[in-house]
Structure 1
Amino acid sequence: MRKWMWGLLLLIPALELYGFIWMSSRIGAGKTILLIIFTSIIGAVMMQFEGRKVIIDARKEMNSGQVPGRKLLDGLCVFVGGIMLVTPGFITDIVGFTLLFPVTRPVYRYALLKWIEKKMKNGTFTFSRRF
């Protein structure tokens, strides 16, 4: 793994733990746990709703003969956002909600498109078939 990934593996849980402690000191441990459970449930519901919407839109584009590239990236954002919302923590919840909302999703989609474009230009992004 790259060094920055190790850094994230250490930094994110530390920040989440700090968020738990900070929120528990403000509203209490029980309410903090209920808040985490509540955001996980809301995230799961939103992921299902937005996921269905993305699939329907992608099918419409495919039926009209278009490649659903943008919709596939939206689907990836919805999937990652849902995983982040189910993961306990306030920071992952904030990022997860921004990935699920259609208003903020284009920011991530644009960054993802730029990353894919850069990788394809460098030749480090390859496709392979394994059957």
Structure 2
Amino acid sequence: MFKVLFLLFIVIPIAEIALLLQVSEVIGGFATLALVILTAVLGARLVKQQGLGAYANVQQQMARGQLPASDLFAGICVIIAGVLLMTPGIMTDVLGFMLLTPAIRQKLAKALLQRATVQVQSGGMFSQQSTQQQEQQFDPFAGRTSGHGQSQRDEGNTTLEGEFKRKD
């Protein structure tokens, strides 16, 4: 965690300043300042447009009873892109515009999904052993019996029965 914070707060700003100085030597100081302001304004407009589109898609899919996982991921990418585009600098602007590109978001989502699948298959947090240990640590029916003297929990059955009402 320390390495990530060090990278975010020390290395990236120093690299941004160095890059801005090099660009200002080539195209001039005022042109560099105008470029940074232009990318921030253009980025804000694109973030607003794509963010509202992702929000509308999430609402539509939820209204149909579908899980909007891809649109939620797109929304997260748009938020991160907005933060990157509002940060003065050239590297952050390039990364922000890349996150606003749907093709790059799809490739990133696919890569993250493959990585998550590998972690689940290799054991990670979701291994059988840790699930059994969690069940042993937290047993809501431990020691309770029903009115007939039988335990409310059947071994191997983790289904709880009950009623619910939907209030719309």
Same fold (TM over 0.5): yes
Q: Report how many aligned residue pairs link the two structures.
A: 124
Q: Is the 8 A contact 1:99 1:108 kept in 2?
A: no
Query: 1:44: which partner in 2?
Result: 44
Give how far 1:102 is off: 1.6
Q: Which has the higher contact order (CA 8 A, sep 6+)?
A: 1
Please identify the structure whose Cα radius of gyration is greater.
2
Distance 2:78 2:53 in 1: 10
Q: In structure 1, what is the equivalent of residue 106 of structure 2?
A: 106
Between the aligned partners of 2:96 and 2:55, the Cα distance in structure 1 is 19
User: Runs of 5+ in structure 1 lacking a partner?
Assistant: 125-131
- 1:122 pairs with 2:124: yes
**CA deviation vs aligned residue, 1:104-123 (integer Å, no higher than 9, x gap):** 21122234434555666522
Give percent identity, aligned residues only.
32
| SS of residue paired to 1:88 | coil
Q: Structure 2 length normalisation: TM-score?
A: 0.67
Match of 2:94 in 1: 94
The answer to whether the 8 Å contact 1:19/1:90 transfers is: yes
1:78-115 Cα deviation digits (max 9, x unpaired) = 00001100100000000000111222211222344345
Partner of 1:12: 12
Unaligned runs of at least 5 residues, structure 2: 127-168
Task: Tell me the distance in 1 between the aligned counterparts of 2:59 and 2:97.
Answer: 24
**Superposition RMSD in Å:** 2.0
